[in-house]
């Protein structure tokens, strides 16, 4: 028969005391709980972590919206309060074309992007009637950053609520695992809002800056949508230098412009060099320059496709120069390291031209990227 | 620009009670462990100490987690430097960024050195402080 020891001061301290029995039972209970509910406890910890980030994302989204409204009021001087229009803009979406039958998808995608661009620009014009062309472009970019913050917030909120509702560890886990990367991107866009609003040059404009420096003080002509071209003598060759028209936020259609130049010259182009900012790997230095082959144009790939097609048709060799930076640097005001990399890129362009073309040849130099805060 | 907002909700009294009970039990377990050691019972002593310290760590962690946290969001506006250059004599002048500045902008002002109206904006960039740079991992 089990006899329990009496509880006295001595009993409390002894190894066989009542207290030690209670403690052992409690701890055994805890181990059993952890055995059966360990995963659930882990999930609650993850949910809490996601919840914290979600609050931060909501603050960023609200701040982005507030800044966009303030910028429109300040620059556009609208008659009525633009908040409702801004809210409608934040919910704007675009449906990508059918890819089940991929033939002609590029042209359908291009059409959709053109429609979207015209629609957004028109909406901004209606919201900010007093703004000039440059300011409209900058406001559009501010609003687009606010849209990105809104989308990020809503997607994370969706997975958070879904995970909470279904109590599925795997739904919560996948959000929690990619959360540091998402937060990094969201923070970059949140800090970039002011830069867009003020029209400051951003890291993504590194390619445009190279082209701007090469074409500065030469006569420019506007070709295609928001792209400027200058004919510049470099190392005894003639270079067609092109970039998106600045200083407003613009990426233009460099692919179409390169295609037109190649066709106008009936393919007599000895070399095409495309310069763009490229995502760096962790450990690589910001502003590092690398060379390669191919068309260095990011985004929805319509422009990249057009250059590849035309280069193939006329057998024009396409070289790429990349200026390394991370996503945060790409959307935030240009860092000194990126600015200083421009001279290095120009030296490389000259070397490439000397090594791969003959005097009197024609070359194309395309500076890709957003021309916000960068003239020509 | 800085925005602050309270994040965590108030912890439930039930959860707090459980945490407090666990905390007391863990302290008692540590006491039992020490006592067992002094009574020459190292096996049960180490068992109680391990259990006590583990539970103390868990309950302290949970207690800190229930604390109402205030989340700070800083939308930092990094200072930007604009360099003005004279295209005639190469004179350079540095000032803070102003709204309307852009690279290659032709300015109306005269060059203080050669008095020519040939000033333009040569560069606009932000500099990262050495402290922030040191945070970036380098394994080259």
pLDDT tens-digit map of A315-373? 999 999 999 999 888 998 999 999 999 999 999 999 999 999 999 999 999 999 999 99
| Antiparallel, parallel or unpaired: β A227-234 and A220-223 | antiparallel
Residue A4 scores a pLDDT above 60: no
Which residues does chain B have within 8 Å of residue A190's beta carbon, measured at their own beta carbons?
73, 75
**Nearest of A365, A264, A263 to residue A310 by alpha carbon:** A263
Q: CB–CB of A193 and B75 under 8 A? A: yes
Q: Which of A63, A191, A200 sits opposite B76 (nearest CB)?
A: A191
- Report CB contact under 8 Å: A19, B32: yes
State the pLDDT confidence band at A6, using cuts at 50, 70 and 90. Answer: very low
Check if the beta carbon of residue A207 is closer than 8 Å to that of residue A276.
Answer: yes
Nearest to A140 by CA among A131, A150, A151: A131
Distance CA A151, CA A19 (A): 56
* Cα of A121 to nearest chain B Cα, Å: 21
* pLDDT for residue A14 is more than 80: no
- Going from the C-alpha of A175 to that of each of A37, A38, A45, A158, B32, the distances in angstroms are 21, 20, 13, 10, 43
Q: Would the CB atoms of A20 and B32 count as touching at under 8 Å?
A: yes
User: Minimal Cα–Cα distance from B63 to chain A, Å?
Assistant: 13
Q: Are A227 and A242 in contact (CB under 8 A)?
A: yes
Minimum-distance CB partner of B80 among A200, A374, A375: A200
Mean pLDDT of all residues in A5-12: 44
How far is the C-alpha of A182 from the C-alpha of B87, rounded, in Å? Answer: 44
Using the 8-state DSSP alphabet, how is residue B26 labeled? H
Instruction: Give the SS3 label for residue B41.
Output: coil
CA A43 to chain CA centroid, nearest Å: 31
Q: What is the mean pLDDT of residues A277-281?
A: 93
Per residue in A36-54, pLDDT (tens digit) is 888 888 888 888 889 989 9
User: DSSP state, A164?
Assistant: H
Report CB contact under 8 Å: A191, B137. Answer: no
Amino acid B71: pLDDT: 59
Pick the CATH number of A203-367 from 3.40.50.1470, 3.30.70.120, 1.10.150.120, 3.40.30.10: 3.40.50.1470
Q: Do B126 and A335 touch (CB under 8 A)?
A: yes
| Nearest chain B alpha carbon to A75 | B99
Complex ipTM, two decimals?
A: 0.82
Distance, in Å, from the CA atom of B8 to the CA atom of B66, rounded to the nearest integer, reads 8
Q: Is the peptide bond before A74 cis (omega within 30 degrees of 0)?
A: no
Residues of chain B with pLDDT under 50: 8
Which residue ranges make up each domain of chain A? 44-198, 203-367
pLDDT of residue A7: 43
Q: Which of B92, B80, B81, B86 is nearest to B107 (CA)?
A: B86
Kindly report the pTM of this predicted structure.
0.81
Q: Which own/partner contact pairs does A310-313 have at CB distance under 8 Å and 24+ positions apart?
A: A310/A258, A310/A259, A310/A262, A310/A263, A311/A262, A311/A272, A313/A267
């Amino acid at each position: 028969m089990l006899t329990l020891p009496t509880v006295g001061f001595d009993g409390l301290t002894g190894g066989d005391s009542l207290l030690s029995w209670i403690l052992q039972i409690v701890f055994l209970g805890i181990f059993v709980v952890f055995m059966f509910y360990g995963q659930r406890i882990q999930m609650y910890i993850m949910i809490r972590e996601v919840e914290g980030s979600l609050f931060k994302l909501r603050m960023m989204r609200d701040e982005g919206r507030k800044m966009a409204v303030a910028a429109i009021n300040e620059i556009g001087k609208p008659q009525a309060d633009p908040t409702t229009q801004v809210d409608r803009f934040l919910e704007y979406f675009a449906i990508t074309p059918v890819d089940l039958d991929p033939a002609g998808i590029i042209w359908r995608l291009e059409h959709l992007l053109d429609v979207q661009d015209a629609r957004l620009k028109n909406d901004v014009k209606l919201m900010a009637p007093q703004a000039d062309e440059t300011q409209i472009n900058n406001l559009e970019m501010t609003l687009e950053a606010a849209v990105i913050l809104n989308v990020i917030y809503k997607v994370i909120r969706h997975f958070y609520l879904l995970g909470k509702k279904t109590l599925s560890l795997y739904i919560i886990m996948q959000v929690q695992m990619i959360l540091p990367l998402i937060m990094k991107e969201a923070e970059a866009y949140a800090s970039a809002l002011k830069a867009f609003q003020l029209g400051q040059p951003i890291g993504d404009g590194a390619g445009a800056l190279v082209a701007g420096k090469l074409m500065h003080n030469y006569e420019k002509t506007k070709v295609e949508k928001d792209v400027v071209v200058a004919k510049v003598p470099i190392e005894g060759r003639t270079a067609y230098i092109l970039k998106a028209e600045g200083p407003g936020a613009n990426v233009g259609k460099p692919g179409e412009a390169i295609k037109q130049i190649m066709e106008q010259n009936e393919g007599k182009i000895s070399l095409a060099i495309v310069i763009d900012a490229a995502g760096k790997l962790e450990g690589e230095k910001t502003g590092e320059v690398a060379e390669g082959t191919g068309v260095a144009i990011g985004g929805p790939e319509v422009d990249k496709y057009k250059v590849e097609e035309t280069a193939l048709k006329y057998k024009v060799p396409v070289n790429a120069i990349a200026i390394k930076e991370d996503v945060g640097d790409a959307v935030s005001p240009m860092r000194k390291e990126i600015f200083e990399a421009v001279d290095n890129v120009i030296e490389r362009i000259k070397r490439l031209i000397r090594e791969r073309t003959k005097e009197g040849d024609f070359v194309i130099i395309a500076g890709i990227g957003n021309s916000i805060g960068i003239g020509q | 620009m800085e925005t602050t907002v309270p994040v965590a909700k108030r912890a439930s009294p039930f959860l707090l009670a459980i945490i407090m009970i666990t905390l007391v039990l863990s302290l008692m377990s540590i006491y039992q462990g020490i006592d067992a050691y002094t009574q020459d019972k190292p096996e049960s002593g180490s068992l109680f100490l391990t259990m006590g310290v583990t539970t103390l760590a868990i309950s302290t962690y949970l207690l800190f987690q229930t604390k109402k946290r205030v989340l700070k969001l800083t939308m930092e506006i990094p200072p930007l430097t604009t360099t003005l250059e004279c295209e005639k004599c190469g004179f350079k002048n540095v000032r803070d960024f102003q709204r309307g500045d852009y690279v290659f902008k032709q300015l109306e002002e005269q060059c203080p050195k050669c008095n020519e109206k040939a000033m333009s904006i040569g560069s606009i960039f932000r500099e990262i402080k050495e402290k922030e740079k040191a945070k970036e991992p380098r394994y080259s």
